[in-house]
Amino acid sequence: EPPDTPNDFSCQTQDMKIVTCTWSQGRDTYLYGRYSSKYTVFEEFSQKPVLCTVNCSKRCSCSWNIGQQRICNITLTVENPLGKKTATDVFDVTHRIYPAAPLQLWEECTGTEITLYLQHRNKGIELFCQTELLQPDGKVELHNASSDLRVCNTITLGGLQPYTEYTTRVRCGAAKHFWRWSEWSEARTIRTNETTPSGKLDIWREITPVLGGRNVTLFWKQGTSFRANGRSISYEVTWEKVEDGSKPEKISFSSVYNSTRIFIDNHSYRISIMAKNNINYSLPSVLIIPRATGNKTLFCSFLGTEEVKEEQVNGTDDGIFISWEPRHTYDSYIIDWCNFPMLQPCDLQWKRFDPNTSSALINSAAFVPGVRYNFHIYGSVANSASLLEKKTGYLRELPPLPDPTVEKVELSFNAVTLSWDSYCINESQSGFVRGYHVYVSPIQEDCNLQGSKKHVLPDNSVLCKYTIENPEEKRYTVKHLLSNTKYKLAVKAYSGGGETPIVNFIYIDTPFNSNTLYLLVLLVIVPSLAAAICCWKMNWLKEWCCPVIPSPNKSKVLSFKEFKVRSLKI
């Protein structure tokens, strides 16, 4: 096949002396050896063929020295026995400068700046360079140099973070007639210098009253506004009485610690915590612990154990939503909670909010369904915090466990009273217990008792269901039962997460109804007895009123001898 017209034919130079032209070969002509395609390069202005060796690996290229020539008209011809094609490129050499990659020789650093010292191979060419800065988080920034690098072979990068590793590389292009960027220089990783820690630590406290004073557990963390700015970090805790200006006490901790416990008496105290690196201390974070009063109510209110009513809140898939009534007297709000409420230590957490905030969605990777989390909302002013509200809630409620244990059963022939007084409805439950369901049914048949609702089990048997909506009411009487009958019963607690399936029943036998026996006595035995008495009385009355006439033969009044007349006794 005849050859294709050379594609992407263009020429460029790095030093305005050596010109390199490149192009693509095109499709295969299926001609090989002495019949394969031949390339020739010709410069039209000088009317001279270009003496260069064409190298075609990935792309074809040809390089030669143009001397002092500045305007070039290059014609590329590709030819084989079946035809030939040409391509032309006319250009000003100063407009086709493709600089060599610069060399980064060394660098100088401060805490916030890096100065790169470069060497360029393109002497006498005004260059415009671009620096790529790779941040620790993977973000890439491009910085353009504004000075003529022929005069000053340095590039300064500012606005950096202290004691932070950055990776840099540089590329350049012609400043006056930009053609294309050079290749990137070799990348270099550079760390800025240490400086004083910036910002303050985020600190909080937990106060526990003890004999003679209070235990204060202090917590600290590096918040978003804090930077260590150094290789090694340590912490210094200082506390002193506010009133008498006594000598402060202090203790230092290494970077692996984020809490400590101190004992203070009932005076007011000022507590400060600072971070320290090899250069200096950070600004102090301060807490004021007010004086403990002898009034128990006020003291407990300060500690957050009384006076503030606890309110239930609901969780969502994203966290637990907390809202509070805004007060204009505070400069910030703090919410604290335990990630693991059933453990000690409970992993106390806290968040701060600005004074214009009155709600927050609290989330944590530690939150799991079925665990109750308690939240305390504080208002802070002048580094002193006061408890404002208390909230409690679940990420998601689960059915209560275990089931209530029926501890007492009181039976009559038509009713049964169940009691489960020791059942706990506290924070150990996996949901807020909102009430109870009492289920009952005769063993041999479905239930249909007055005042109940039907509840169908998976096996299609029917129970009678009674609802108690007060979780504090742990006693219930089921009425309208049949005497001398076997019943099965169950008591289930329910929450916002529902209730667990019924697995176990308790069984009872209602006693025989004694009233039925009394009725039998009244209707059968008493009338029979009355009839017997009446019969006896009638016989007695008859004998009294109408005595039996004695037989003359039995009379002894007259003692005659018997004689007979004919056949009769006389």
What is the per-residue pLDDT across 32-89, written as a single tens digit (0 to 9) for each?
888 888 888 998 888 888 888 888 877 889 999 988 889 999 999 998 888 999 999 9
Q: How confident is the model at residue 158 (pLDDT cuts 50, 70, 90)?
A: very high
The mean-pLDDT minimum among 71-85, 341-355, 379-393, 518-532 falls in: 518-532
What does each C-alpha distance from 63 to 53, 84, 96 come to in angstroms?
Answer: 8, 22, 14
Helix, strand, coil abundance in the chain, percent, nearest 5: 10, 45, 50
**Structural domain 310-394, CATH architecture:** Sandwich (2.60)
Q: Are strands 249-254 and 234-241 parallel, antiparallel or unpaired?
A: antiparallel
Average the pLDDT over 265-292 and give the result: 95
Over 80: is that where the pLDDT of 7 sits?
A: yes
Looking at residue 125, what is its pLDDT?
83
Identify the sign of the CA torsion 60, 62, 63, 66: negative
Over 50: is that where the pLDDT of 303 sits?
A: no
Q: 116: buried, middle or exposed (CB in 10 Å: 19+, 13-18, 0-12)? A: buried
| Segment (H or E) for 236 | strand 234-241
Domain 406-510 is in which class?
mainly beta
**Under DSSP, is residue 125 helix (H, G, I), strand (E, B) or coil?**
coil
Terminal alpha carbon distance of the chain: 181
- Which DSSP string do the residues of 280-298 spell out, in sequence order? -BPPPEEEEEPPPPS-HHH
Q: 16: buried, middle or exposed (CB in 10 Å: 19+, 13-18, 0-12)? A: middle
Domains 310-394 and 406-510 share a fold: yes
Percent of the chain with pLDDT over 90: 59
> Taking the mean position of all CA atoms in its chain, how far away is CA 244?
45
Domain 7-95 is in which class?
mainly beta
Q: State the Cα–Cα distance between residues 408 and 421, nearest whole angstrom.
A: 9
Tell me if the bond preceding 345 is cis, omega within 30° of 0: yes
Instruction: Give exposure, 252-282, as e/b (b: 16+ Cβ within 10 Å).
Output: eeeeeeebeebebeeeebbbbbbbbbeeeeb
Q: Which residue, among 384, 90, 112, has the nearest Cα to 229 in the 3D structure? A: 112
Q: What is the DSSP letter of 537?
A: H
User: Which residue would you say has higher pLDDT here, 37 or 474?
Assistant: 474
| Segment (H or E) for 20 | strand 18-24
Q: State the Cα–Cα distance between residues 78 and 81, nearest whole angstrom.
A: 11
What does each C-alpha distance from 528 to 320, 466, 523 come to in angstroms?
Answer: 78, 46, 9
Phi, psi of 278, rounded to the nearest 5 degrees: -70, -10
Looking at residue 569, what is its pLDDT?
56
Counting every residue written for the chain, the total comes to 570
Q: State the Cα–Cα distance between residues 476 and 468, nearest whole angstrom.
A: 8
Fold of 201-289: Immunoglobulin-like (2.60.40)
Q: For the chain, which residues make up each domain, given as ranges?
A: 7-95, 103-191, 201-289, 310-394, 406-510
The mean-pLDDT minimum among 403-417, 471-485, 496-510, 514-528 falls in: 514-528
Domain 103-191 is in which class?
mainly beta
| Segment (H or E) for 419 | strand 416-419
Q: Are strands 564-565 and 568-569 parallel, antiparallel or unpaired?
A: antiparallel
Over 70: is that where the pLDDT of 339 sits?
A: yes
Strands (E), 25-146: 38-43, 48-49, 55-56, 60-65, 71-80, 83-92, 103-109, 114-119, 127-134, 140-144
Over residues 228-245, the pLDDT tens digits come to 999 889 999 999 999 877
Over residues 517-532, the pLDDT tens digits come to 555 555 656 567 767 7
How many other C-beta atoms lie within 10 A of the C-beta of residue 484?
11
Phi, psi of 501, rounded to the nearest 5 degrees: -60, 150
